[in-house]
Structure 1
């Protein structure tokens, strides 16, 4: 059975003309979404994604520093420090930020979903959220270098725990235990755990909630 990575990397051959049309159509869609002050993170968190998202966020704030920004998240996570860069920028902005999880927000994706302002962390009914500690990759180099890498991993884990503690109100040991494995939660479980503010089923419901916050 193919892995998730293999499935997502499959490319269907298309003609050059079709690629150009798809690219033009996607650019037009991106422009319309930016005009609506809406971003979508629907892939792994990479340096390329981070560069694009950060640039768009800066432009949106310059355009109107008080208008809200909505971010839809359906992401398996990815590079930790790329994710931290997006998270920190979202917290830095003067614009009110709303996050909505659709599908799933795993690993660093779950961190990004927590970057919204108070009361603005939402998910759809069938969404799932997964939290865990940083993955340990194969160490390379001398013993002292491996020790340094191990210490850095622990520092990163503690930073992630700090974020979950701050956003859920739970203590260090509770979060440390919660992320010692891949911890998948249904939307209702994530809400109870403190990772969400509300589960929304419709645009009307979302707008009503946001209006109450303004």
Structure 2
């Protein structure tokens, strides 16, 4: 059980046409190479997107649950550097950490945005790295349909925003209305500001941080490609199938004699140009 009286979050995944997604601005500011310099006792690493991802690298509630079962009733450190992602997965992970029967220390190494910021609030102690940020905002989703679907989606999102405001308010010792106002503004909170405002309890020493340039170096840029496709209106399933096809070949292609195991040279070159342009802009 958490040492701090944190509210439980509940979220029904039955949202019709709504699909929760990462915010593009969070992706742009995310630096996947930032890591903990070393594990300090039992730990869980959240260094990727929240929820299932096209490459299987996303952090899911199932994975966190398995890690917590393995750790047992011992203190645990949760190292976070994530642009967020699936709201429901974030809620599930938050509740798991909140109910852990020993102390939970959350260390925000680089970024805890969106669903990852909700997860961070489950810590009995929350520490921020030098230059680290929390980013809080209203539930961000892609909705597909007619005007009635859009109105229904907005109505369905409102309770989630209210629930998140309760969580942030409980952590920071502020009124839920004040937390909601910060969410409306899509607020980025730096390390010292997070401590001053009550969202965090201390700083991480610089020697506890490290950078691994080889750690999923491609992840950020492919995630940005997916975000660009989302803004263009492509569904999650279409986006992920397209990215898989680019790097794995079309389904069944390996069975054809002489088939290339990856995307054609022209498509691959175009994607590489897009990725290079993204690298130059962040």
- Give a deviation string over 1:163-193, Cα, whole Å, max 9, x none: 1111111102211111113211210111112
Q: Identify the residue that residue 69 of structure 2 maps to in structure 1.
A: 58
Find the aligned partners of 1:197 and 1:4 in 2 and give their Cα distance: 23
Matched-pair contact (CA < 8 Å) for 2:26–2:113:
no
Alpha-carbon RMSD: 2.7
Matched, 1:126 2:131: yes
Q: Identify the residue that residue 199 of structure 1 maps to in structure 2.
A: 203
SS in 1 for 2:193: helix
SS in 1 for 2:59: helix
Aligned residue pairs total 171
**Superposition deviation, residue 59 in structure 1:** 2.3
Q: Identify the residue that residue 83 of structure 2 maps to in structure 1.
A: 76
Q: Identify the residue that residue 111 of structure 1 maps to in structure 2.
A: 118
Q: How does 1:177-196 map to 2 (within 5 A)?
A: 177-196=181-200
Find the aligned partners of 1:111 and 1:146 in 2 and give their Cα distance: 25
Matched-pair contact (CA < 8 Å) for 1:139–1:149:
no
Kindly tell me: are residues 4 and 86 of structure 1, through their superposed partners in 2, closer, same or farther at Cα, counting changes over 3 Å? closer
**Superposition deviation, residue 60 in structure 1:** 1.4
Find the aligned partners of 1:122 and 1:179 in 2 and give their Cα distance: 21
Q: 2:103 aligns with which of 74, 96, 99?
A: 96
Q: Identify the residue that residue 227 of structure 2 maps to in structure 1.
A: none
Q: Identify the residue that residue 174 of structure 2 maps to in structure 1.
A: 170
Kindly tell me: are residues 193 and 202 of structure 1, through their superposed partners in 2, closer, same or farther at Cα, counting changes over 3 Å? same
Q: How does 1:145-164 map to 2 (within 5 A)?
A: 145-164=149-168
Q: Identify the residue that residue 137 of structure 1 maps to in structure 2.
A: 142
Structure 1 unaligned runs (5+)?
A: 9-31, 205-214
In the superposition, the TM-score normalised over structure 2's length comes to: 0.55
SS in 2 for 1:179: helix
Kindly tell me: are residues 148 and 193 of structure 1, through their superposed partners in 2, closer, same or farther at Cα, counting changes over 3 Å? same
Structure 2 unaligned runs (5+)?
A: 1-24, 31-37, 53-57, 209-282
More helix by share: 1
- Give a deviation string over 1:105-146, Cα, whole Å, max 9, x none: 1111111111112xx111112211111111142342572x44
Kindly tell me: are residues 5 and 107 of structure 1, through their superposed partners in 2, closer, same or farther at Cα, counting changes over 3 Å? closer
Q: 2:59 aligns with which of 37, 49, 65?
A: 49
Relative contact order: is structure 1 or structure 2 higher (C-alpha 8 Å, sep ≥ 6)?
A: 2
Matched-pair contact (CA < 8 Å) for 2:130–2:206:
no
**Superposition deviation, residue 161 in structure 1:** 0.6
Which structure has the larger Rg over C-alpha atoms?
A: 2
- Give a deviation string over 1:18-57, Cα, whole Å, max 9, x none: xxxxxxxxxxxxxx96x94111101110145222111111
